[in-house]
Amino acid sequence: MPSLPVLVLNSGSSSIKFSLYQACDSTQTKLFEGAVDGIGTDLGKFWIKDAAGKKLVDQTPALPTRAVAFKLVADALHSGSYPAPAAIGHRMVCGGPTVQKNQLITSELIDEMERYTAFAPLHTPIAVYIMREALRLFPGVPNFVCLDTYFHRTMPEVVTHMPIPEEYSAMGVRRYGYHGISYESIVYQLQPNVPGRLIVAHLGNGASISAIRNGQCLDTSMGLTPTGGIISGTRTGDIDPGVLLFILRKIAQTTESASAAADQLEIVASKKAGLLGVSGRSNDMRELREAIRDGDAKARLAVDKFVWTIAKWIGSFVAELGGLDMLVFTGGIGENDIATRAEICAGLGALGIMLDPERNNTRGKATISADNSPARVRVIPPAEDLIIVNHVVRLLGE
Ligand code: ADP
């Protein structure tokens, strides 16, 4: 296949990131990347930089709606300053039970994925909006969906099935797992020596952890929605269902409809809980570490809970994998927070995880385990756009 410009679109609840690659089967070269951030505010950010990091666009526009935000991106890409994309890859968090494979996007496919908005309510609305707009604004250019759930398709039924009545399972309620493109990118970067028993901890503002056997996902912490699993920036993680019922009943006392009460509960569980909820201060690890240095006991408790939950998941995954060859930290906290990595690993010596404190005293790609550690411990930044480009090139060739 000849080398083609491939555009990657990756939307979050208040941002749209994009990058343009020149790619064929064997090589992928990044040409540009950019983002619009702060959608819904008067002071958004819009920037584009080239592969050397030189800023080509650096603006602070008002971004009242996602329509305004995406138009800025589309106008820039149509300006003639950048190669016109020959294909577009869209990151999609969850396509529901019927859309599990990366594939060509049609309007029918978008409608089908939109039916399952409830499984990723913060991500799906903007992602499907951008897919529709991309089909309209880039006519004739093939668009492909790349799902975060795709990597987790190999999990066995005993892992994916939820202990609920069959009528709800039949509606697609099951464990899907998220951050799949990040996990895929770690396995990709470890090739050709992917360890047989691998655990990857993706610790960002959203956090999850996966057990990977021979390069395939065996288990992951997130469930039906990204709110499940380990505690993260603003999400509860797994929690006694009775807690949610208690909060729901409290909310319902002052709310007019059941659906308004459910919406409020969703905000509590996914935007006000986690590190933010426990610390009462911030969901940002850097701020929490600063507060801990100032003696803030609630910040200490929030980080301790984060560390404790992750260590517990690592322990259960080591049991599931029958041992461990490698633990990888990734995501903003995994790559940068030296103390979090040290605290997680401090109690895991019995599982064969031993850090070298000096090697751990670093940010970015590194091996941080001691020479005599039975399991290697590494830090590897994710390369999600590269994985999306690879899928697009593969699908174009089919
Ligand atoms: P998202 O899930 O939004 O992609 P990121 O992967 O960017 O999140 O991670 C954001 C988290 O990483 C925040 O909690 C932030 O405090 C933390 N982080 C980023 N840089 C550092 C750093 N230098 N030291 C400690 N934590 C950091």
Q: How far is the CA of 275 from the centre of ligand 1 (A)?
A: 13
The residue nearest atom 25 of ligand 1, judged by CA position, is: 337
CB-side exposure of 70: number of CA atoms within 13 Å?
Answer: 22
Q: Is the CB of 37 under 6 A from ligand 1?
A: no
Residues in contact with 203: Cβ distance below 8 Å, sequence separation at least 6, in sequence order: 310, 329, 330, 331, 332, 333, 334, 337, 340
Same fold, 4-154 and 193-379: yes
Task: Indicate whether residue 381 lines ligand 1 (CB < 6 A).
Answer: no
**Superfamily for the 4-154 domain:** ATPase, nucleotide binding domain (3.30.420.40)
Q: How are beta strands 15-23 and 4-11 bridged, if at all?
A: antiparallel
pLDDT-above-70 percentage for the chain: 100
Q: At which residue do the structure tokens 């200490």 appear?
A: 300
Give me the pLDDT at residue 22, please.
96
238 given a catalytic annotation: no
Pairing status of strand 366-367 against strand 376-379? antiparallel
31-89 per-position pLDDT tens digit: 999 999 999 999 999 999 999 999 999 999 999 999 999 999 999 999 999 999 999 99
What does the domain layout of the chain look like in residue ranges? 4-154, 193-379
Q: Both ends of the chain: CA-CA distance in Å?
A: 11
Q: Average pLDDT in the 151-161 region?
A: 98
Predicted local distance difference test score (pLDDT) of residue 244 = 98
Q: Which of 184, 178, 175, 239 is nearest to 215 (CA)?
A: 184
- pLDDT tops 90 at residue 13: no
148 lines ligand 1 (CB under 6 A): no
Phi, psi for 353 (deg, rounded to 5): -110, 110
Domain 193-379 of CATH type 2.60.120.920: no
Whole-number Å distance, alpha carbon 365 to ligand 1 midpoint, is: 15
Calpha distance 183→17 (Å, rounded): 19
| Strands (E) located in 123-255 | 143-147, 197-203, 207-213, 216-220
CA–CA separation, 297 and 295 (whole Å):
6
pLDDT tens readout for residues 309-368? 999 999 999 999 999 999 999 999 999 999 999 999 999 999 999 999 999 999 999 999
In the structure, what pLDDT confidence band is assigned to residue 122 with cuts at 50, 70 and 90?
A: confident
pLDDT tens, position by position, 284-298: 999 999 999 999 999
**Atom number of ligand 1 nearest to Cα 334:** 12
Give residue-wise pLDDT tens across range 221-255. 999 999 999 999 999 999 999 999 999 999 999 99
Options 25, 42, 111, 148, the catalytic residue: 148
Residue among 40, 47, 45, 75 nearest 60 (CA): 45
Per-residue confidence (pLDDT) for residue 361, from 0 to 100: 98
